[in-house]
A = this chain, B = another copy of it.
Amino acid sequence: MDYKQRVSESFNRQGFMNFIGAKLEKIELGDCEIIVPFSENLTQQHGFFHAGVVATVADNVAGYSAFSLMDSTSSILTVEFKINLVAPAKGDFLIGKAKVIKQGKTLTICQSEVFAGDRENPKLCAVAQVTLMELRNREDQ
C-alpha cells in the first residue's frame, strides 16, 4: 500500500474527523493539508471556530505529514503538542498545514500552521509544535 492510501485510510477511520467535517486536501510526503468548512457546530462562545477544532487540525495535520514518511508497517501516536492561538479563527474555512522539522528513528517533530478565512484570503490563526512517535511493526489497523 502506498503512503497516500495509508494516510487516507487512517484518516477515514477517525470518527471525529468525519464528525467535524474535516477533509484531507493534500497528501504529499511530509506535507499534508486538512480543511474544515465552518459550521455552527464548531463554534466557541463568540461564534468563531472553537480552539478545540483548531487544535485538532494542528495536531492531525502534523500527524499525517509525519505518518506519510513512516514505515508502512508502523503506527503513529501524538506524544504532545503546544499551540498558540494568535488570532480569532474566523471565516468559512479552517486550513491546516504542517512541515516536518526532524524525523528520528522513534520521534518526529513537526510545526503546524492553521489559517482561517475564505479560501482566497486565509489568515494565520494558530501555530503549533508537535511531537509524534512511530510505533514500529504495529500497523495502523
Give the top 9 A-B pairs by smallest Cβ distance, nearest first: A52-B56, A82-B82, A16-B50, A15-B43, A86-B102, A13-B45, A19-B41, A80-B84, A55-B55
Q: Is the CB of B83 within 8 A of A16?
A: no
- Report A125 CB to chain B, min CB distance, Å: 10
B-contact bits for A103-114, CB 8 A (1 contact / 0 none): 010110101000
Q: Is the CB of B106 within 8 A of A86?
A: no
A44 on interface, CB distance cutoff 8 Å: yes
A65 on interface, CB distance cutoff 8 Å: no
State how many copies of this chain the complex holds: 4
What does DSSP make chain A's interface, helix, strand, loop or mixed? Answer: mixed
Q: CB within 8 A of A80: which of B43, B85, B140?
A: B85
Contacts of A127 in B (CB 8 A): 101, 109, 111, 129
A19 to B52, CA, bound (A): 12
Q: Is the CB of B133 within 8 A of A107?
A: yes
Contacts of A44 in B (CB 8 A): 14-16
Q: Is the CB of B131 within 8 A of A45?
A: no
